[in-house]
Amino acid sequence: MVNLKINGKSVSVPEGSTVLEAAKAANIEIPTLCFLNGVNCAGSCRMCVVEATGARGLVAACVYPVSEGMEVRTNTPKCRQSRKMTLELLLSTHKKKCLTCPRNMTCELQRLALEYGADADKFATAAPDTPLDTSSPFLIRDNDKCINCRRCVAACKNLQGVEAIGPIGRGYAVHIGGAFERPTIETNCVGCGQCIVACPVGALVEKSGTDAVWKAMSDPEKKVVFFTAPSIRATLSEEFGLPVGTNVEGKMVAAIRRLGDVEVFNMDVTADLTILEEASELVDRVKNNKPLPMFTSCCPGWIKYIEHNYPEMLPNLSTCKSPQQMFGALLKTYYCEKNGIEPENLFVVSVIPCTAKKFEVERPELKKDVDVALTTRELARMIRTAGIKFADLEDEDYDDPFRIATGGGAIFGATGGVMEAALRTAAHMLDGKFEVLDFKEVRGTNPIKEAKYKVAGITVKVAVASGLANAKAIMEDIKAGRKNYTFVEIMACPGGCINGGGQPNVPDSVRNWTDLKTLRAKALYNYDKKLEYRASHDSPTVKMLYDEYFDQPNSHKAHEVLHTEYTPREKY
């Protein structure tokens, strides 16, 4: 341990700690912009400068190591003046359209400028006017709002291993973009949105679908239905000031109903349906020596990643559509037939944690079964626009016939959740007496998890990875023959959907020091424990769907509606 003083307060921290970490231990907040814990630590923005004994001038707290007996001052006139100057220089080239920016009131630059009394026009320059990159269906890049903190670049490289973006040019002209100035849609971007949640300002935002939803709800010819992904119940709370990990399922359903004349369904139903189809496919592959390992296919960011980088492994992907697309297909077929609705008059809205789902909606092979995919952030904006007092709402339940689902569907939102739900059902299919429901070896937010289970005399080796950089490590091990798995779950976002690119923008003071992934996942596992049905094959809703429409898992009808194919893509 190293002993030092920060603003006169004694603190002991492990050797190798930075001044920023020591300040946190002393409950002292130092402002940051380029720093993102576990993602980016460059000391380049100079917002976290402090005075420290033994140092020449101001030093960046996020990279400066502590030493025995050091004395640090974080709030001297020199520190405050330097930070204010930094903010004024950043604002000199920043597009100051704050009132209409999606990040208004959640922007780190805006917050700090207010706190330090920065003069936005002190170093006035000509208004920037760089064209927006709107080429993709999921993201808008506005480089006139970019502050060159490089957090998006670090997220794309370090967390995801995709490296679709990077700095272009030098000096004053440097900006962020795709190689050779390619627009986003022409890069190997997988649409995960981790760059969006990393961005401290409004330079990167999702392409919004809210206008289309408002329009559909006002069209008397359209019947509008919503369905919500498993993780939304555990994250929407943060948009309305509730503690991280608060389950607000009942309030969420009530709020959506108050947006307009809509029905609200539970996407956990098609998560359960995915498990029945996927587990059946896995058992068939194991028994009949078909390509193994089988990879999960519910994450569209992972699907696009493997299409770009490992097209030779596409036969190993489960052919199951994602729960989002299964629900869209189910609504445009079974639901429309049962209720005498023309599919073109049914407007389907998914609420999802992920910007890659917006790309998935546009995939031609999926036939536009989902009309609009809204992120958690977009739903929250709609609720606020409608003047709904979210925290005051009484809980309401989903609408029938897609109301009841299982814990297996609910835990889809956390890394390892798809694997655990599939194991609950696949083990039951292989051995009807196998009733274990908790596969704790695949739980938790470790980037890579491995386990081995013996069921009906068959050894099943599984692996779970979240974050595409970790997915790459697993894929390379499989290709080289170093690993031999039966079943592999991949989620593009670190921690899974609960940390997706469409989840709430969290202040740096929280994101840098709070284990969001664990707290959000805990809400899902607690929800799973309390449910009457925990294994997907026990779902009465799924049983009804097979009895009335699909006959059995992997039937001809099920393949027509619930399965898909994949597209090899250029590797840039």
Active centre residues (catalytic)? 278, 281, 298, 318, 357, 360, 365, 497
Contact assessment for residue 323 and residue 352, using Cβ atoms and an 8 Å cutoff: no
Q: How far apart are CA 182 and CA 524, in angstroms?
A: 39
Q: How far apart are CA 248 and CA 236, in angstroms?
A: 7
Phi, psi of 182 (to 5 degrees): -65, 140
Contact assessment for residue 464 and residue 416, using Cβ atoms and an 8 Å cutoff: yes
What DSSP element (H or E) covers 356? helix 356-361
- The single-letter DSSP state of residue 132 is P
| Helix, strand, coil fractions of the chain, as percent rounded to 5 | 40, 15, 45
Question: How many of the other CB atoms lie within 10 Å of CB of 339?
Answer: 11
DSSP conformation letters of 203-229:
SEEEPP-HHHHHHHHT-TT-EEEEEE-
Maximum pairwise Cα distance, the chain: 78
Phi, psi of 72 (to 5 degrees): -120, 140
Name which of 151, 146, 152, 95 is nearest 120 in CA terms. Answer: 95
Contact assessment for residue 178 and residue 186, using Cβ atoms and an 8 Å cutoff: yes
Contact assessment for residue 373 and residue 347, using Cβ atoms and an 8 Å cutoff: no
